[in-house]
Amino acid sequence: MFNCSAPSDRPLALHYPEPTAATENVTFLAPHAPSPKQQLFLDLNCLEALYGGAAGGGKSEALLMAALQHVHVPGYAALILRKDTQRLQLAGGLIPRSQEWLAGTGAAWNGSRRQWIFPSGATLSFGYLAHPLDKYRYGSSEYQFIAFDELTEFAEDDYLFLFSRLRKVQSLNVPLRMRSASNPGGIGHVWVKERFVESDSGKRRAESGVGGSTVSSAFGFPLSAVPAFVPARIADNPGLNQAEYRRSLAHLPAVLRERLMNGDWSVQEEGMFCQEWLRYYVVVAKGGREEFSPRKPFPTPSSAEQLEIRTPDGRVVAVIPAATCRRFCTIDPAGTSADKARESRGRPASHSVIQVWDQPRGEAAAYLFLRHSWRGRVGFDGLVKVIREITRTWRPEKLWIENEKLGQAAVDILHPELPLETVATAGRDKITRAAPLILKYERGEILLPQLNTTWRLDFEAELLSWTGRDDQPSDQIDAAAYAAIVGQENSTGVIQILPVGRR
């Protein structure tokens, strides 16, 4: 993918456009004219665009301007999303800002629906995607404009799902647009960077309207279908006291400072997992190429399916008959004492995670195939229910759960109904506990389902953004760490955990 240019009838220079109905609408509703970089963002004629980079560059404001461009058109509907409603409503957030802009314009605010209704009948709504299932709240909705503020806070699966809500009737004369704004960093940093900032070859993409860069039609697809990246800099916001803001940012840690001050997408904290370590498998029918649906698994490792280990370029390097595997589950329950302590300090809420693993017997016992992963926020009774459901579906030989209070309580309730036992953390810190998992990843012994897009992308995002800090989400990593420990015991009978320093 490459960047799209500004509209073809205008030179690729930063300037205010010729007046149009949409431009005049923004100028009328916003308290000031768009900055040159904001105007470039508003002028883009592609389906998908990111305004990303430094803090203070006017990115969120640009999203609001873009949402308002067509509110004079009857039937137009716009949606702006954040991770939670609190950040929409904070001072300086998009809801208070919209109220400042739209007071006295004839637009009516519906607080219970977090929605503006304009004299034309057009609407601008504000929403949230705090949890994986929240996206389905919009399952029957229809929008012509959808925007994600701070895109790197979202999972790629949430972002892609909202494209299904981007549609219009034939007679509605407005473009379909997916727009985003974000600083670098966060759990979605890797996928956002790959989608917008870098090409598949890892080279920096041409930046829309900057340095005379253009996109040739020789790429073989319409320009309007190409994602655009508009880089944000502090200097792009003329209304900001730049010197004062830079002094404030100078106190931040180096990586965060480079991301927020300079919009640097390349700088990254030293992670515990590397992307080049990721390895994949595909489930196929024995003797054939048919993919089995992950939603309808065989109740036990079956002689009718095989696990093909593939290289990143798709070459098959090994085939493991599923019938030779032992199947087990690992469970990381949310709500431990450490989880509650982190949440009380304002850290992200923890999730319970249940993972299903297949481990070959014999010489290939070093490999672990992650067959299924469930992640959610439920109470203790809800967790027990999900454990029973996953056990009925996947029928593991044994289940292992973290041995904190919730884990032991689950064993007390479910044993001997289920083959559930605790795995000891022995008070080890997360990095030390993850040591066997890190080593297995580095050796290419952890295999993920190549064709799965329901949970694999979230898991990979957590892996690649994790640096071992306590304030980072690591529920899925914890469950996988237990699998590495259990898998080591299955293959050797001995568990040895060694400390791992920051890489």
CB atoms < 10 A from the CB of 82, how many?
Answer: 25
Strand partners, 446: 368
C-alpha separations of 31 from 34, 55, 65, 100, 463 in Å: 9, 21, 10, 9, 43
CA distance linking residue 469 with residue 272, whole number of Å = 10
Which one-letter amino acid corresponds to residue 406?
Answer: L
Average pLDDT over residues 80-98: 89
CA distance linking residue 258 with residue 123, whole number of Å = 37
Across 176-233, the runs of DSSP E, i.e. the strands, are 177-182, 228-232
Count Cα atoms within 13 angstroms, Cβ side, for 263. Answer: 21
pLDDT, position 73: 94
Higher pLDDT pick, 193 / 376: 376
Handedness of CA 420, 426, 428, 434 (dihedral sign): negative
Task: Find tokens 């109905």 and name the residue.
Answer: 21
For residue 496, pLDDT over 80 is answered with no
Write out pLDDT tens, residues 278-307.
Answer: 899 999 976 555 454 444 555 556 667 899
Query: What percent of the chain shows pLDDT beyond 70?
Result: 71
Q: Which of 184, 174, 368 is nearest to 267 (CA)?
A: 184
User: Is 0.75 surpassed by the pTM of this model?
Assistant: no
pLDDT, position 257: 60
pLDDT, position 465: 79
Write out pLDDT tens, residues 134-148.
Answer: 999 998 899 999 999
Write out pLDDT tens, residues 407-424.
Answer: 999 999 998 899 999 988
pLDDT, position 451: 87
Lowest mean pLDDT among 161-175, 383-397, 450-464: 450-464
Is residue 447 within 8 Å of 301, Cβ to Cβ?
no
Q: Which residues contact 286 (CB under 8 A, 6 or more apart)?
A: 303, 304, 305, 306, 321
Q: Which of 387, 394, 373 is nearest to 456 (CA)?
A: 373
pLDDT, position 273: 85
Which one-letter amino acid corresponds to residue 54?
Answer: A
238: its two tokens = 């003329």
For residue 20, pLDDT over 60 is answered with no
State the chain's mean pLDDT as an integer.
Answer: 78
Q: Which residues contact 64 (CB under 8 A, 6 or more apart)?
A: 30, 80, 94, 97, 98, 101
Write out pLDDT tens, residues 38-67.
Answer: 888 999 989 999 998 756 557 888 999 999
Lowest mean pLDDT among 156-170, 225-239, 423-437: 225-239
Write out pLDDT tens, residues 203-252.
Answer: 334 344 433 333 322 333 344 567 888 887 665 556 555 566 556 655 55
Write out pLDDT tens, residues 168-208.
Answer: 998 999 999 999 999 887 788 888 888 888 643 333 343 44
Is residue 303 within 8 Å of 324, Cβ to Cβ?
no
Is residue 449 within 8 Å of 281, Cβ to Cβ?
yes
pLDDT, position 492: 52
Sheet with strand 279-285: strands edge to edge: 316-321, 305-310, 279-285, 446-449, 368-376, 352-360, 325-332, 398-402, 420-423
Which one-letter amino acid corresponds to residue 427?
Answer: G
SS3 of 316-381: EEEEEEHHHEEEEEEEECCCCHHHHHHHHCCCCCCCEEEEEEEEECHHHCCCEEEEEEEEECCCHH
Domains and CATH numbers, the chain: 21-262 (3.40.50.300), 324-492 (3.30.420.240)
